[in-house]
Amino acid sequence: MSENTEETVRIYTGPDIMAEALVVRLEEVNITPILREDQQSAVMFGSGNNYADQVRVFVRKDELAIAQPIVNTFLKEIEE
């Protein structure tokens, strides 16, 4: 089993503005998530993707236990 704390897990996929709102909440508990928007990269390199107009939010696996309740509350609030 890997002890690498740099492994990440996706916790949210959605519009940029919603992803940014989630990031703010995570940063309040000292979690610095990783945002990935593949749309811009796909346009630059001429390929398509399954995440048009979507941003994916990732956290480190060792922070997931803290992040998950925040994500669950956030999703309930935005009814997603």
Span 52-72, pLDDT tens digits: 679 999 999 999 999 999 999
Domain membership of residue 39 (yes or no) is yes
DSSP notation for 32-77 = --EEE-HHHHHHHHT---S-TT-EEEEEEGGGHHHHHHHHHHHHHH
The CATH number that applies at residue 32 is: 3.30.70
In a domain, 69, yes or no: yes
Range of the domain at 14: 8-77
Is 43 within the bounds of a domain?
Answer: yes
Q: Is position 2 within any domain?
A: no
Residue 3 placed within a domain: no
Q: Reply yes or no on whether the pLDDT at 51 is more than 80.
A: no
Q: Model's pTM, two decimal places? A: 0.76
Rg (CA), the chain: 14
Provide the domain count of the chain: 1
